[in-house]
Amino acid sequence: MDFNDTPEEAAFRKEVRAWLDANATRKSDDTQSNRARNDDPGLLQKAKEWQDKKAKAGYARITWPKEFGGRGGSPILQVIYQQEESNYLVPLGFFDIGLGMCIPTMMAYATPEQLKRYVKPALHGQEIWCQLFSEPAAGSDVAGIRTKAERDGDDWIINGQKVWTSGAHYCDFGIVITRTDPNVPKHAGLTMFFLDMKSPGVEVRPIKQMSGGANFNEVFFTNVRIPDSQRLGKVGEGWKAALTTLMNERLAVGLPSGGLDIDELMELARETELEDGAAIRNQQVRSKIADWYVQQQGLKLTRYRTLTALSKGQTPGPESSIIKIVAAPKMQDMGAFAMELMGHAGIMKEDVPFAAGFQAQWIGGAGFRIAGGTDEILRNIVAERVLGLPADIRVDKDIPFNKLTRS
């Protein structure tokens, strides 16, 4: 892959940079930490306003077809925009799941009328979507879900529980995977729907995290009635629909957005004094930073492999799994190292901006190593699909779900 911009790409980069300069603040102009910005109670509204501004300018989803509000552009143009946007202080993260996972699934299975109704409001930040997959007894094993949907005329009635649902407390809609037939093997009895999160019988309970935040939620369904017209795909083929979502999820969460990275760690090392002088001059500190810099470059180049496949119209391979296996521990380890470097100040997030960001990164990194596939699941994917190693033995493969032994 040629990493240099083509003349067309260079012109697009210049256009994007000029637009961002006119509409956002460069990071170099404001040293306020990412964590401090995330503590802003008005951040969601600011994010909606920024999303709407991006959508009106045609930058919200560059690769989407024009009829859905995109530009019909190449994945490379999307990357160029993201590269440039990363240099500015803008609110990120609220729309990643909806636009990166839920709406693409809707595009694959919803009716034209439904797409006309739901895509534009999501693109402009007017409505936010969540993904209702994981359950207390079905995390990495998504096909093991127990939330059931039972047919009642032209409607379905949903009962059950989801957990670790990011953003459910501020979301307007969600896609949900349910079990509609317990008499067949677990992958065969699933059906997917979309629903209004304000529907009667839907209860969202935020989960308080040790970081002080509450980004994840439990979601309970008690006799939630939705019409069959909100079914995505055929009855019993929910696993197929779920794979569409999960494929997009791997790409969407492969690298965290908006976190602190090498540049911020180097700035911290320059400003932190150790017994022998500035931390940036300490050989052990420099060695650590060098290791993470090499990992960062490796992650960037591996991601380009995914982009190369997309630019050629190919289905991305397991690169996104490789990226996440490296990126998640790196994110957590860097946070821990930065806090250690700051000493006692590393836990004083209210008074030390850098401590706030790196502390949140260290604590939140554990969740990132679970979201979108645990380290163990992703290693299995790489082992089986890249290295060709034998698959894990699955004793439940051909057994009806209602015959499986419950732990």
Domain 129-244: assigned CATH number: 2.40.110.10
Q: CA–CA separation, 86 vs 262, rounded Å?
A: 13
- Write down the domain spans for the chain: 7-92, 129-244, 253-385
Packing angle, helices 238-252 and 319-342, rounded to 10: 50
What one-letter code names the amino acid at 27?
K
Residue 196's H or E segment, with its range, is strand 190-196
229 neighbors 239 (Cβ within 8 angstroms): no
| E-assigned strand segments in 211-354 | 216-227, 231-232, 273-274, 277-278
Q: Give the model's pLDDT for residue 4.
A: 77
203 neighbors 220 (Cβ within 8 angstroms): yes
Nearest to 349 by CA among 38, 88, 89, 87: 38
Q: Which residues contact 407 (CB under 8 A, 6 or more apart)?
A: 137
- Is the domain covering 7-92 a CATH 1.10.540 domain? yes
State in Å, rounded, how far the first CA of the chain is from the last one. 49
Q: Rg (Cα) of the chain, in Å, rounded?
A: 22
Q: Give the model's pLDDT for residue 208.
A: 87
76 neighbors 9 (Cβ within 8 angstroms): yes
Q: Is the dihedral of CA 336, 338, 341, 344 positive or negative?
A: negative
What is the full DSSP assignment across 67-106?
GGTS----HHHHHHHHHHHTTB----SSSHHIIIIIHHHH
Which residue in the block uniquely carries the two structure tokens 């256009």?
Answer: 15
Q: Give the model's pLDDT for residue 283.
A: 94
Choose which CATH entry (1.20.140.10, 1.10.10.10, 3.40.630.10, 1.10.1040.50) describes domain 253-385: 1.20.140.10
Nearest to 197 by CA among 130, 244, 256, 146: 130
Q: Give the model's pLDDT for residue 139.
A: 80
What is the full DSSP assignment across 288-299?
HHHHHHHHHHHH
Q: Give the model's pLDDT for residue 12.
A: 96
Q: CA–CA separation, 139 vs 142, rounded Å?
A: 6
Q: CA–CA separation, 213 vs 60, rounded Å?
A: 27
Q: Give the model's pLDDT for residue 317.
A: 65
Which residues of the chain fall short of a pLDDT of 70? Answer: 1-3, 28-39, 211, 247-259, 307, 310-319, 348-355, 406-407
For residue 394, count CB atoms less than 10 angstroms from its CB and return exposed for 0-12, middle for 13-18, buried for 19 or more. exposed
pLDDT in tens, 144-195: 999 999 999 999 999 999 999 999 999 999 999 999 999 999 999 999 999 9
pLDDT in tens, 302-323: 877 776 776 666 656 666 778 8
Q: Give the model's pLDDT for residue 344.
A: 78
- Tell me which residues are annotated as active site: 249
Q: Give the model's pLDDT for residue 17.
A: 97
Distances (CA, A) of 263 to 24, 182, 292: 20, 51, 11
Instruction: Kindly report the three-state secondary structure assignment for every residue of 328-386.
Output: HHHHHHHHHHHHHHHHHHHHCCCCCHHHHHHHHHHHHHHHHCCCCCCHHHHHHHHHHHC
